[in-house]
Structure 1
Amino acid sequence: MDSFSERQREILERVSGIGHLTIESCAQIYGVSPQTIRRDVNELCAAGALRRVHGGVELPQNENLQYTSRRMLNGAAKRAIGHAFAAHVPSGSSLAVSIGTTPEYAIQKLRHQSDLMVLTNNLNIALFACDQEGWSVRVPGGAVRAGDRDILGPQVEDFFGRYQVDFGVFGVGGVAEDGTLLDFSEDEVAARIAISRNCRRSVLLLDSTKFGRSAHVRGGHLSELDLVICDAALPEQHRAALEDISVDVVIAEAQP
């Protein structure tokens, strides 16, 4: 995935934002031939990042992008969210952290905090945390999903249930119009709920592309959270509803 060109990364980000892109429109955007764009998207499709449809490409149906593809998307937004998150986490804190690329960005922003305890089923986060002097790291047992480098299943829910931590930190696959939190599998939802139930402060890290994004497993609601950190203003219906019930919302400022 790291071998994708800058144009391929931009194509992936455009499709992630609008769901579909035609070959002709993409060729016009970049001022190149349709054949050149077809070569770009063929590589993206071969890597599982996109799916070919008649005349263009779209996101894979009913499933999430591969982790390394997701990590490339909306990097500026995720960095801003991570920076804002770090301001809420003092040294000496304990954190339960979910799968996902936005939580990974956020934990990396804590590198200057000391004496943290990190519980996570995201091995990308665990490996980073292991390199931080003075941090302690715990992970559950079980089979690793190779593409995502994470662990899911009932043992993960039991693992998070054995601790009470200061912060439960997670992202989501999407947010429905009614504020329901969505993900791509029941195991993902179950792990996130286990984190939320066993923390003193639940934190949703949410890049704004997740509003209205299609994911098919329901679990949790914006109103059940303590803190939402997003890179852009929430849609009005969500903002007003969360204000009424005093859920804290932080809009992260873009970082240089």
Structure 2
Amino acid sequence: MAAARQDKDLPTRQQAILDLAHQGGFVATEQLVRHFGVTPQTIRRDINTLCDLKLLQRYHGGAGLPSSVENAPYADRQGQSPDAKQRIAALTAGLIPNYASLFINIGTTTEAVAKALVGHEGLRVVTNNINVAQILRENPSFEIILAGGTVRNRDGGIIGAAAIEFIRGFRLDYAVIGISGIDADGSLLDFDLREVQVARAIIDSSNHVLLGADESKFGRRAMVRLGDLSDVQSLITSAAPPAPFMPAITGAGIDLIYDDRSAAAALAEDG
């Protein structure tokens, strides 16, 4: 992905917003308000300016890069929203009992969940993520089963027909999955068709699907449709989703779980 434009004519905050968008592909208005300590109106003006310059594109709840065909580099995604991912990971791990069986798929959020699960006992984990396997092998009570297939060099994900066939040979209690974007109509979106095909097999082979998505994923565009919110049973996120997304979440009949500590902290500072 191209580096963020460095423009001497851009004010410092607008350049910082553009840099954040290039790191994660999407910036949420609420997140930027907390990050910069300014009003939502100020952030909206900054976003409008960047969109008028064709540097960003408006989406529900924020703005993102114009492209919907390429994800941010893996190293950049690892560093994006670490606090939010840790909150999602802790909430997700709390939903999984000891001695459960589960899938964990590709993604930096699912890797955070794996770290939060290391203190469990007796888990049986099937994964197509080399990084997840490395994290979970620290616990000798776990049985870790790694899917075969093509290893994607950039992030350690395992994809392809062999991985799909392998996963379809199981029926497990839980699936922990991530996603690149959630549309306001409830569509779950990602960038790589091969990754989506493996994730679809994981969903179809699980009794309870736990989707972890930080607030930046709401309204973020990606070109491949994985499915719909109705395909999952629980959505675990880092803050209350933007209002335009609530009808799709409610209509899907899923559990919405979040721990909005960041918003509480912002309110305390304002007080």
Q: Tell me whether the two structures share a fold, i.e. TM-score over 0.5.
A: yes
How high is the TM-score relative to the length of structure 2? 0.73
**Ranges in structure 2 where 5+ consecutive residues have no aligned partner:** 26-52, 57-63, 266-271
Out of 182, 185, 204, the residue aligned to residue 189 of structure 2 is: 182
Separation in 1 of the partners of 2:111 and 2:226?
21
**Ranges in structure 1 where 5+ consecutive residues have no aligned partner:** 1-18
Separation in 2 of the partners of 1:198 and 1:189?
14
- What SS does the corresponding residue of 1:85 show, helix, strand or coil? helix
Out of 200, 208, 231, the residue aligned to residue 201 of structure 1 is: 208
Amino acid in structure 2 at the alignment position of 1:120: T
Out of 173, 176, 180, the residue aligned to residue 169 of structure 1 is: 176
Matched, 1:23 2:7: yes
Partner of 1:93: 100
Describe the shift of the 1:194–1:154 C-alpha distance in structure 2 as closer, same or farther (beyond 3 A): same
Separation in 1 of the partners of 2:148 and 2:258?
35
Q: Percent identity?
A: 30
Amino acid in structure 2 at the alignment position of 1:240: P
Instruction: After superposition, give the CA deviation of every residue in 1:101-152 in whole Å (9 maximum; x if it has no partner).
Output: 0000011111211101111111110111112121111111122111111111
CA contact (8 A) 1:23 1:55 kept: no
Alpha-carbon RMSD: 3.1
1:245 Cα offset (Å)? 4.6
Partner of 1:210: 217
Paired positions, count: 223
CA contact (8 A) 1:22 1:55 kept: no
Partner of 1:104: 111
Separation in 2 of the partners of 1:105 and 1:25?
38
CA contact (8 A) 2:55 2:66 kept: no
1:24 Cα offset (Å)? 3.4
CA contact (8 A) 2:186 2:248 kept: no
How high is the TM-score relative to the length of structure 1? 0.77
Amino acid in structure 2 at the alignment position of 1:92: Y
Separation in 1 of the partners of 2:81 and 2:8?
24
Partner of 2:227: 220
Separation in 2 of the partners of 1:49 and 1:181?
17
